Amino acid sequence: MNENVLVYDESSINESVGPKKNHFDIIDIQIESQQSANFTDSEDSDDSFINEETLPQKEQAIRKIEFALADINDQIERNEKTLILRTSYEKSHFSIRYSSHRKKKLDRDLHCLHQVYDLLENDKKSTKRELFYEHKAIYEAQRNLDSSIRSICELLNESRSNLNVLACGRGILRGAITFLVEDVGVIDARVQDVLITDSLLFSDQVSEAEFVLVVEKDTTFQKLIDEKFQIMFPRGILVTSKGYPDISTRNVLKMLSEKRKFPIYGLFDADPHGIEIYLTYKYGAAKETAEGRGAFVSSIQWIGLFPTDFKRFFIDPSQCLPLLRSDFVKIENMIPRSIQLGECLVTRELDWMIQNAFKLELESINMCGPEYMGKYLIAPRVRSWKEPMFERKPYEQMMEQSLNTISPDSQNLKFSIRRDEAAEIFKDCYIDSDTERLIDDVIDNDSD
């Protein structure tokens, strides 16, 4: 086993010592004798074909499962005190160890492995919930099945979607798109909130949308809907994962970005957690597991809320929340990652947040006035990305100039642009019912 092998050791520190007997009840796993014979522990056995690059991905996963089930069955028959679930004798990048105290965990993992095998063998798809109810008495709780799926994804080195296991996500979507889902029918996001599930990945879409806006929280999502987001942006799609992004939401956004070529914009809290959520959407989790491999949207563009937006909008200082010790720790951990990823804007905003020792939530924009977020935050920044480069300044350059207006005395939370000056800038903003006129007017005034 090479030096990069990752071992997930679930054995107990103090194993019970008893008479020499089988510490595990033989679990009801149906393995053909021929399969067992094919995967014996002899010197002549060769399991290199399991990782053969020429094999289709599905076939590789099936071969790995067959080996794992046959091998674990042999270990049980030999009355091994500690059982090892693995996909190869030599090449397993990940293995799971079970002591006699982990019989339930072993039982759940093996049943889950069989369910995944059936899905792949029969080319079927199933949700986590459906898998849970197939063996509810064994899994006992949904979280136990979720744990088994994560373990199996690591064991097989495959993402959950590649194993035909679908998740009922928590994200929702609303806007100018209609999904045609097999066995479900037409789902029109123009007239209803659509629950984001993996089934949308295999749908056909009908849409005239021009962009997708991802917001961090459900409260912001509902606020924008109440403030007529669909009238203001009739060719926009609004998405939220209600906090930390789940895998289903990230995969569906990735599909919309790659298949439909929609530009994706992100609106998050101006705090360490909001910025971390943005990085998760764009690059995946800092410690991504096999279950969520590839679930990120590299094209997503952060348009706010920036910590430095405190200087640009009518945000009352009472909306500034002091950074906690945990916030400082998170920021210090995120800065090296943002530098490594080349996220210069993120690095600068994190640095500004540390210097000023406060954070902002998206709700602080709502305190500025009705529909303020849509008119003065979303509209100009979405439009600035959509215009051809020869007709506008790059957004990064616009942000650079805006940052240069910040007073050095920002520790005292002084505005670089006074409220009366800001009011003068926006006094001629007339928002016509026509969306293009609305966006044009806001951009013209915002660029002053």
- Rounded Cα distance between 301 and 448, Å, is 23
Q: Provide the 3-class DSSP secondary structure of residue 315.
A: coil
β partners of residue 9: 97
Q: Which amino acid is located at 185 in the chain? A: G
Q: Which amino acid is located at 244 in the chain? A: Y
The pair of three-digit structure tokens given for residue 137, joined into one six-digit string: 């008495």
Q: b/e per residue, 363-382, with b = 16+ CB within 10 A?
A: ebbbebeebbbbbbbbbbbb
- What letter would DSSP give residue 182? T
The number of residues in the chain equals 448
- Taking residue 40's Cβ as centre, other Cβ atoms within 10 Å add up to 12
Instruction: Indicate the burial class of 146 (C-beta count within 10 angstroms; 0-12, 13-18, 19 or more).
Output: middle
What is the C-alpha radius of gyration for the chain, rounded to an integer number of angstroms? 27
Q: Where are the alpha helices (H) located in 4-102, listed in sequence order?
A: 33-38, 57-77
Residues identified as active-site = 133
- What letter would DSSP give residue 318? G
β partners of residue 69: none
H/E element holding 207? strand 204-207
How many secondary structure helices (H) and strands (E) does the chain include?
Answer: 18, 16
- Taking residue 435's Cβ as centre, other Cβ atoms within 10 Å add up to 16
